[in-house]
Structure 1
């Protein structure tokens, strides 16, 4: 990878991290601190989390298609402007319904797939997998930091501080896009026929569709868990101001274990991928079983949370790398759009179902439902094994 490619990759990784930092900081705090909003209850909190995924899902594919036609930078800037508007609304108002509106507008800034597509545009084909692996690593670090800093910010400065930080980071990202990142000249799909060809090519690829389904399941599980985790940790005897320590320790151990696994056992995206998927999906299943029978025991709860973070972090790196490798080059933006749409459909589904099941603070129902989801995921993985 030459110096120019490295520069663009590092800057776009920072922009991607800024984008995701605001998304994830809110997860561990909205269930608890969001109850202070006027008219809030557990179900509406679930909607405020899930609505973000709904609008993300709606706009991911159109933004991917538009970026193929009108250029990545233009669409990314429009996306960040929407995030700024939504963050401003959430920062100003204190009514849960207006917060839901602001979160919906935030979600309309559906640019994750466009950023990933721009990265593939600005790096050579031989360095594309390395680039996606780097993005996956930066995603993992961003996820870890946001889950840790979200509770710290909320306890010291209030939940609104997270919305203002998201707004500031979005403004900073626009400046980076405008003045550092060049325009991509790889905008191929310019008519309805090629749009149709893009969808046909992607939807006919069974492995790509399996990966899209997998990221849907993964983020459904993530969001449903984070509706329950704050209450679970509190009920196990950990005060709100110490929640970040639980997340910090869990994430740190997960990153250390994954670093060892990926360093000593070279990850090959085309060899035995089904076994790797079985392993980490099964880890999620075991984690939910531990959480189902936690009996308000901090140690059992921690084991479950630890295993969840380990399985989630691994799959969050593996799945997008697989998409980057196998998606058709000229339809990369569309492929990433469909992938991100599936991801945020998972956010929407997990937020809505998790909030509904947890309406009466019944964590047993949430974990039981997630166990069912993972069993379905394992069955589908087994069914697709000949397509890996």
Structure 2
């Protein structure tokens, strides 16, 4: 690859350090999931319902504040918003660590969720990378989130087993401090802050995105997926401890085995979905697996071996959907509306997480472990019924072109861009001096496109 086409040192530094910030924050959020249902029982006022609320509480404030914080970062700068969000997250961890009641933990989790910095981080990535390398930078962040989830499932039970639940929350605060240090001293400062339609929310794109039926299906799906995850972590740790007889400090090996096996199984399906253009079929298959594994979890409650096998299948379905759905969103989102679609999608995800924790706690209180698994199966089946009506997505990629201002004001330019082979959609934003495209990379005539947008 020619040096001009490689990521610059500053871009690599920006992408890797911001991936680290994202990973440390998500690690702190996820570490609590496998331990709160078991270790939280000793807290004053703990009930299955309140444990469920504590598991999902961060999702409500995250959903409420993520888009506003992203827009605020357009006004006052990315770094102040990110540092402020990490400070709230660290404070929430300290509050939860020092709490002696379940209500104190819930308040701490609400504060953690208030540190809603995902949109601001994505916008900062766009500020610090060129268009041709932005996908790589976003992929680095995506991989860091997946790695953080895997590490959290293992590290959370180990820390809780050694030093208790409060130690897990103290570690989450420490990770937030490390993230702040990265933002202050390692992440480069952008030369300018400006809205990116492919990475940030734009008010004018809200209605077009909300009117698109396939995006609404996707938003419902991600809400259901994370509702099932949170409800499951009300039930699975208790199933392992109380029914299968596995002490809480040994749960780490179950999650480690399940995640490693699920990653090995899901990768071929991801490759098949992209290369063979069978995304809809793979997604529907994973949803169906998520629905069918719920009765298996219920039937396996008294057998550790079968319960572990069911947990492996659960994570195969969950991780496959978690990995493929952002790609699906990128294909479906309208040109110039990807950032807004991502913002609404993420808001749906966190709202689903909050509702899932509450629902899991309520159903467990009323119907026990089996009731939680039945509830999750019903949720997954509702998603499958809605997903069946989804159209096969167009296999296109979002693409942003910087334009000379004089060319950007040419009213005939969108029509000429659409005439280039491989271009499916084109939106020119004259004020930004940019064109947002959806292109099929297999047939795109790059030379024709580049010639078209050269200054006269």
The two structures have a TM-score, normalised by structure 2, of 0.78
Who is 2:187 aligned against? 181
1:3 to 8, 14, 38: 8
Who is 1:34 aligned against? 40
Given that 1:43 and 1:352 are in contact with CA atoms closer than 8 Å, whether structure 2 keeps it comes out as yes
5 Å matches for 1:259-274?
Answer: 259-262=267-270, 265=272, 267-268=274-275, 271-274=277-280
Is residue 326 of structure 2 the alignment partner of residue 307 of structure 1? no
1:98 to 90, 97, 104: 104
Given that 1:71 and 1:183 are in contact with CA atoms closer than 8 Å, whether structure 2 keeps it comes out as no
Given that 1:286 and 1:307 are in contact with CA atoms closer than 8 Å, whether structure 2 keeps it comes out as no
Residues 6-58 of structure 1, C-alpha deviation per residue, up to 9 Å, x if partnerless?
22211111111101001110001000101111111111111112221111111
Who is 1:46 aligned against? 52
1:141 to 139, 147, 170: 147
Q: Distance in 2 between matches of 1:216 and 1:309?
A: 17
Q: Distance in 2 between matches of 1:382 and 1:266?
A: 16
Q: Distance in 1 between matches of 2:57 and 2:226?
A: 14
Question: Per chain length, whose mean CA-contact separation is higher, i.e. which structure has more relative contact order (CA < 8 Å, sep 6+)?
Answer: 1
Given that 2:94 and 2:173 are in contact with CA atoms closer than 8 Å, whether structure 1 keeps it comes out as yes
Who is 1:237 aligned against? 245
Who is 2:90 aligned against? 84
Q: Distance in 2 between matches of 1:66 and 1:382?
A: 38
Is residue 363 of structure 2 the alignment partner of residue 354 of structure 1? no
Q: Distance in 2 between matches of 1:128 and 1:271?
A: 23
Shift of 1:86: 1.0
Given that 1:206 and 1:387 are in contact with CA atoms closer than 8 Å, whether structure 2 keeps it comes out as no
1:335/1:206 CA distance change after superposition, 3 Å: same
Given that 2:48 and 2:365 are in contact with CA atoms closer than 8 Å, whether structure 1 keeps it comes out as yes
Q: Distance in 2 between matches of 1:180 and 1:348?
A: 33
Q: Secondary structure at the match of 2:129?
A: coil
Who is 2:231 aligned against? 224
1:223/1:35 CA distance change after superposition, 3 Å: same
5 Å matches for 1:44-83?
Answer: 44-83=50-89
Question: Which is richer in helix?
Answer: 1
Unaligned runs of 5+ in 2: 1-5, 395-456
Residues 174-229 of structure 1, C-alpha deviation per residue, up to 9 Å, x if partnerless?
12112222344352389xxx954131232133333332222111100100111101
Residues 276-325 of structure 1, C-alpha deviation per residue, up to 9 Å, x if partnerless?
21122122122212113224222321221101111111221222234355
Given that 1:43 and 1:356 are in contact with CA atoms closer than 8 Å, whether structure 2 keeps it comes out as yes
Q: Distance in 2 between matches of 1:207 and 1:124?
A: 29
1:173/1:350 CA distance change after superposition, 3 Å: same
1:280 to 286, 291, 310: 286
Q: Distance in 2 between matches of 1:100 and 1:161?
A: 16
Who is 1:108 aligned against? 114
Who is 1:199 aligned against? 206
Q: Distance in 2 between matches of 1:87 and 1:3?
A: 36
Q: State the Cα RMSD in Å.
A: 2.4
Q: Distance in 2 between matches of 1:372 and 1:266?
A: 26
Structure having the higher Rg: 2
1:188/1:199 CA distance change after superposition, 3 Å: same
Is residue 229 of structure 2 the alignment partner of residue 210 of structure 1? no
Given that 2:55 and 2:357 are in contact with CA atoms closer than 8 Å, whether structure 1 keeps it comes out as yes
The two structures have a TM-score, normalised by structure 1, of 0.91
1:386/1:244 CA distance change after superposition, 3 Å: closer
Given that 1:54 and 1:348 are in contact with CA atoms closer than 8 Å, whether structure 2 keeps it comes out as yes
Q: Distance in 1 between matches of 2:116 and 2:81?
A: 9
After the TM superposition, which of the residue ranges 48-57 and 176-185 deviates more from structure 2?
A: 176-185
After the TM superposition, which of the residue ranges 370-379 and 327-336 deviates more from structure 2?
A: 327-336
Is residue 302 of structure 2 the alignment partner of residue 292 of structure 1? no
Shift of 1:81: 1.2
Q: Distance in 1 between matches of 2:213 and 2:124?
A: 25
Given that 1:284 and 1:308 are in contact with CA atoms closer than 8 Å, whether structure 2 keeps it comes out as yes
Unaligned runs of 5+ in 1: none
After the TM superposition, which of the residue ranges 150-159 and 168-177 deviates more from structure 2?
A: 168-177
Q: Secondary structure at the match of 1:181?
A: coil
Q: Distance in 2 between matches of 1:47 and 1:114?
A: 27
